């Protein structure tokens, strides 16, 4: 692992944050009703993971582009998942913006708004061979995907 600024990490965080900023003004109907039921342990894991992933993605140069190798496949797949994440958001913003729209899947991937970025950052950790980012992504994934799955179950009931 090599300390240094990661422009790839910055690009990923921008791709992650821009739609989320737009979402704050376009939340699904009745969203507030579901937020109060969030599991505190999952919420703590989500918040901890968000901070760790954001910081670690920026402070290790391991994620920056380097000459093509077998490891580059992880970066390509990771970026493809981030592009699919952007498509998820475009689809959400063009929808009626219901809870069902927000917790929908895409291409068979459940709760895509949570799952896609978690998988993308996990593949980025593999590309950079960075165990710290990998561990942070696991923490984030348990919390973030767990919360989304709980909300999806609530709206289905």
pLDDT of 21 reads 96
pLDDT score recorded for residue 85: 98
- Cα(19)–Cα(17) distance, integer angstroms: 6
Distance CA 76, CA 71 (A): 9
Question: What residue ranges of the chain have pLDDT lower than 50?
Answer: none
pLDDT at 117: 98
């Amino acid at each position: 692992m090599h300390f240094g600024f990661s422009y790839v990490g910055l690009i990923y965080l921008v791709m992650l944050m821009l739609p989320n900023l737009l979402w704050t003004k376009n939340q699904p109907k009745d969203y507030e009703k579901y937020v109060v039921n969030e599991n505190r342990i999952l919420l703590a894991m989500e918040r901890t993971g968000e901070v760790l992933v954001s910081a670690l993605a920026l402070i290790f140069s391991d994620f920056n582009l380097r000459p093509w190798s077998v490891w580059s496949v992880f970066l390509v797949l990771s970026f493809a998942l981030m592009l699919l994440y952007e498509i998820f958001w475009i689809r959400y913003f063009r929808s009626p913006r219901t809870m069902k729209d927000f917790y929908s899947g895409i291409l068979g991937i459940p709760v895509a708004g949570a799952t896609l970025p978690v998988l993308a950052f996990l593949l980025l950790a593999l590309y950079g061979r960075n165990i710290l980012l990998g561990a942070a992504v696991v923490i984030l994934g348990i919390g973030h995907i767990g919360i989304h799955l709980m909300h999806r179950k609530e709206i289905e009931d």
